[in-house]
Every structure is written in C-alpha cells, then in structure tokens.
Amino acid sequence: MDTANLSLPEYYINRELSRLAFNVRVLHQSKDTNVPLLERLKFLCICSTNQDELFEIRVSNMQQRLEVSPAPFGPDNMTPAEVLKQISSQTHELVTEQYRILNDDLIPALADEGISFVRRYDWSEEQRAWLENYFRTEIVPVLTPTTLDSTRPIPRILNKSLNFIVSLRGRDAFGRNVRRAIVQAPRSLPRLIQLPPELGDTGDSDFVFLSSVIHAFVDELFTGLSIDGCYQFRVTRNSELYVDNEEVGDLMRALEGELFESRYGAAVRLEIAHDCTDDLCDFLLDHFKLTNDDLYRVEGPVNLNRLMAAYDMVDRVDLKDPPYTPGVPSQLVKANPFDAISKGDILLHHPFDSFGPVMEFVYRAANDPSVVAIKQTLYRTTPDSPLAESLVSAAKAGKEVTVMIELRARFDEAANIELANKLQEAGAHVVYGIVGHKTHCKMLLVVRRENGQLKRYVHVSTGNYHPGTSRVYTDYGLFSANEDLGHDIHEVFMQITSLTKTARLKRIYQSPFSLHKKLLKLIRREAATASAGGTGHIIAKINALVEPEIIRALYEASRAGVIIDLIVRGICCLRPGIPGISDNIRVRSIVGRFLEHDRCYYFHNSGDEQVFCASADWMDRNFFSRIEIMYPIDDKKIKRRLLRNLDRYLADNTNAWELSADGSYELLEPDEGEAPSCAQISLLEEYAETS
C-alpha cells in the first residue's frame, strides 16, 4: 500500500461547523410531519437551546482565540476569523428557517388543533381587558423601567434574559428630553401567559407571549411620554467558567463566584425584533461591542426555548409521542439485586429499561447492614433525586460513603455545588475532582460483607446518574460482581481520592492513561488483519469524533481494507468516502425521539469479536483531560444483544443521516420496495414485548 499524507487539512471537517450541521438535523425534526405536532415544537426549542450553547461556549472561545492569534489552528487549518464568518453565515440561515417553521408551519398547525398563540393585533376586547389587568397586577410590580441618559447608561443585562428597548419622545418629570429606555423582564415572569378558558378562541389552550403584553401596554410605564417604538431583545454572553486550577485554593468557592460573573460575561450575540429601527440596533451593537455579523433579527419571541412551556401545559397525548413504560430485566424483578448480580452480569439499556433498578440498588445498599461502603461518581444529577437521598441516608447510617462530584459539569455547576453541600452535611466524603481533569466516568461501587469476606458489586454506565435524562437519553448500564472489574473500579476510585498511581488494571482502560493507546491498538490490529488478507471490521457508536490521531488511524485502516461503520450523533471531523483515503468508511447520525448518548465499540478481531462500552467519546478532551473508562463486554448473551442493537442502527432508514465527503448530510429513506426501519421504534417494540 502506497503512503499518503493523512494530515492534509482537506481530510478534516471543522468541528464547529460540524456542530452546526447537527443542529440543522435537529431542526429538521421540527418540520417532519411524521413527528407528532407538539414534539415538533419541542425540537424547535431544542434547536434554540443548542444554538445558545454554541454561542455561549464555542463562539465565545473562538472570539478569544482570534484576539490571541489570527493564525490557522486545528487539523482543518481554518483561521478563527474564517470559522466565525462561516458560523455567522450558516447561523443566520438557520435562524431564518427556525422562525419560518414557527410562523408558517407550527403556529398554524397548532391553531388547527385548538392550540393558539394569540398575537396582540388579534386580541378581542375581552382578552385585551383581561391582559391589561394582568399587566397591571402581575407584571408591573416586578418591572424596573430605566430611562437612559449620560448619567444613566444601559443597566447590566443578564445573559439570555428578555429585555425591551423603547424609543421615547418628550420630557421627563425633571424637564429633560428623553429618547430611550430599557425594560428588563425578570425571569420570574412566565414567558407564556395562558388565557382563561372562557376568553380563549379555542378553549383552554390559548396563549399570549409575555413580550406581546409588555409591548401592548408599555406606555403605562412611561406616563407623559410618547412611545415611538418598543422592541424585544436578548443578549447571549460568554458563559465559559474560568478557574485557574493552579492558583485556586477552594474550587467550590471559586466556582460560586464564577457562576455569578458568567451571567454578565462578554456579549457574543444580539437577538432583536425584526422590525427594530436601524439606529436602535446600532445603539445596542455599539454598547455591547458587537458587529452586524453578531446581530440576529427574529420574527417572534427572542427565546424560542421558552415555548417548551406550551408543550408541558398542553395535555394532548394525541399530539405527543406515544407513552411507554420502561421495562425491568427479569433477573431484577422482585429480586434482591445483590443475589441477582451475583448470578451474572445484567445490562440495562435506557430509556427502554427503567432507571429504577439503579436507584433501587443504591437504596438497598444504603439500608443493607451488610454493606460497609458505597463509592460513586456524579457528573450530572439532581440534588433531590432518590439516588442522592439514598447516599445521604447511607452516610447518616455510618456507612463509608465516598462521592466524586464534578463541580465543573457545564451548566450543572450550581446543582452539583448544592448536592456536594448536602452530602457533606450528612457525613459523606466528598471529592471535587482532579486539577486539570474533569471526572466524566460513570462508576458505582458497593462493598458488602458476605460470609466473613468483602465482596464488590459495581455499576458502570455510558450515561449520567440522572433519573430525568435516563428517560430521554439512550445509555447502557452494566451491573456486575466480576472480581477483576470490581478490583479495577476500586483502583480508579483510590486514584481519584489519593492521586496516586493505580495498580495494573485488569479489565478496564482509563483516560488519560491507557484508553487512547488501547483504541489505537485495536484499530491498527484490524488494519493489520485486513492487510494480511483477513476480515477487518470496526463499528463505533459515539457522540463525537474529533481527535486527529484516531481519525488518521481510521483512515489507515480504511486504506488497508477494513470496513468501518461509524454512528456519530453530533460532531464528526472525519470525511468518509474520500477516494483512496476513506472509501471503506460510512458515517451516519441518528436523530429521533431519544437523544443517542451511549458509547459502544466493536472490533471483529479475526472472528473473536470484542465489544466495549465506555463513558468516552473520541475527542481530545475525553482522551487527555478527563477521567474516563472503557470496559469489555464478555457475557455472550449481552454481547449479542449489543451487536443486534448496533445492527439496528446501521439498518435505520428513517431517522438516519449519512455524511458525505463534502461535509453534507443526507436523510436516508427506504429504497423502493424496502420496508421502513427505525432503530428507536424497533427497540421500543422489543422492550414492550418482553416487559
């Protein structure tokens, strides 16, 4: 095989543009008429939330990079300015499409179903009277309108908050000319106001936007002045938390300070009503130090995510995904979990399997007098979850409870600080992580005294210990009493708490030490097999593929003849289908009812097939700056089940998007005469039959 330079920039897709492409796939769900109507509205909201995160984290980081150096960076060799320009161009197109879908598709379709968003120019006299009273009694008492002049600049604008800029004429109470004012809408106010059933056009599902109510009655806030215009706007700010790990003495205290300051970080985007005058737009852009590329004119509410309230308030099962009841593996039904796990490994596949057995396992451990210790990592959960309550109970009962809480889990920092305080007050040993490395692995270890000896039980997972997300994220969780696996999990916990080197691990591979090297070895073994005339096959189901050395190894394997099937939900920097480079690589993304989140890797291994599950995606951060684990699946029945699931996703022709060499995605459809296949529906049907 001839040599090739696999580091050429044209072989790589920019990660930020790949992230944007994922959001386009999410937005497509909102216009897919095969998706229930309220679910389409939900996908529109999710798209908006994803865009917020893109600007808060990725765009802000890119702007900071540009300030430091304009030079190209990354394997695609794009400059920060080039990336920002393309993000702006593509995002403006995306935003235009978002509001077109809202105004032309979803609002009319919802109205046909008796769910109306009543615009202020359509209010009846009765509705207007009721809303005016609502404005005076429920809204005005919490508003603080602020006129602007040389001594009263624009007040601090909270990240992603709803605000109004008002154009005024006249003199204030002190005889001074007034031109502009700002009205901030506190987050305590609902962004959707539900009209009483007797006033609704269609019944009890008629809503009015808070922005419409403030706009309609804003003149009452400025008595004696004339209103020339009132326009809603929203500012998105840099929300990346910066904590100097080398200097900070108290991580929790530092993060608490950063959480407050992040609400007022540097502005990165201005969203404003589409009809706002140019002079007011320029005024705001100048104040927030933004350019026209950062300006997004929107025809509708500036924060589409707040429409999620309608999804929650409207009780229409016919317009939502069919309800389902997660199952429980037969081994755990009416069984002591320790007895069941002792008989063999048990796999949970969420959300098709209930998260209940995990919470039951911790509850039993907390209340079992034979259990002497519980150790767990928590990346994202809720302070009031049953799982957290069980850990508190165990600590209060005198058991050795060690909880590794990652305080720096993005956007969950405040909840994790609250949980850490709660556990510490109960007497648990709480560890905050390792300097420079986020603890992202999902591990639970229970030590139980049985027949005079200590026995370890473990639960390892691809997803977080979060009861809420377990209903909407696909993840694998494995219960095991395997001695070697228990030994390894114990060693990793010891490393996290003591910061000492682990003994040689027997079953698992860990970032930042052995995981990256092991994956390269597994990929290269398949390449060597194919080069020798054997069969090489790799399947990987991950959320993101970014790390250049892994991509180069996959290119090398493809050139050697290895068949590579990648199921990558979000970011993918690899280009499949490049002649002579990645001819044997297929990349698909599944976007459907559930968020695909599990990480599962398959290697043919000359017929002695190997399957691994992991907490890690194939990104630089997962390999080099996080604590992650990968573990083999040896139970033959579980392995067959995982392979069958991978085959389902590779056969999906309804929710699958295929990536082309040019970086574009195409939604797959059944060929003529081919039956539709949807992996998520297939899994729901299978679990319904067995539960």
For the annotated catalytic residues, the residue numbers are 440
How large is the angle between the packed helices 210-217 and 125-134, nearest 10 degrees?
90
For strands 473-480 and 610-614, give the pairing.
unpaired
From CA 604, how far away is CA 643, in angstroms rounded?
Answer: 11
SS3 labels along 283-346: HHHHHCCCCHHHEEEECCCCCHHHHHHHHHHCCCHHHCCCCCCCECCHHHCCCCHHHHHHCCCE
Residue tagged 């199921």 (tokens): 567
Residue 335 sits at the vertex; the CA angle it makes with 329 and 341, to the nearest 5 degrees, is 70
Phi–psi pair at 10, nearest 5 degrees: -70, -10
Distance of CA 103 to the CA centre of its chain: 26
How large is the angle between the packed helices 80-100 and 15-29, nearest 10 degrees?
10
From CA 553, how far away is CA 594, in angstroms rounded?
Answer: 31
Residue 261's SS3 state is helix
Residue 233's SS3 state is strand
Question: In terms of Cα–Cα distance, which of 350, 352, 373 is closest to 362?
Answer: 373
Q: Are 23 and 577 in contact (CB under 8 A)?
A: no
From CA 248, how far away is CA 270, in angstroms rounded?
Answer: 33
> From the CB of residue 40, how many other CB atoms can be counted at a distance below 10 Å?
22
Percent helix, percent strand, percent coil in the chain, to nearest 5: 40, 25, 35
Q: What is the chain's length?
A: 691
The answer, yes or no, to whether the previous bond of 80 is cis (omega within 30 of 0) is no
From CA 603, how far away is CA 610, in angstroms rounded?
Answer: 5
For strands 442-450 and 453-461, give the pairing.
antiparallel
Question: Which DSSP letter does residue 39 get?
Answer: H
Q: Are 297 and 273 in contact (CB under 8 A)?
A: yes
Question: In terms of Cα–Cα distance, which of 593, 586, 688 is closest to 646?
Answer: 586
Tokens matching residue 591:
């976007």
Residue tagged 């624009």 (tokens): 154
Question: In terms of Cα–Cα distance, which of 54, 60, 96 is closest to 80?
Answer: 60
Distance of CA 162 to the CA centre of its chain: 23
Residue 539 forms beta bridges with which residues?
A: 565, 602
Question: In terms of Cα–Cα distance, which of 286, 292, 283, 240 is closest to 263?
Answer: 240
Cβ density class 97-112: b for 16+ within 10 Å, e for less: bbbebbeebbbeebbe
Tokens matching residue 234:
């929203």
Residue 631 CB burial class (10 angstroms; 0-12, 13-18, ≥19): buried
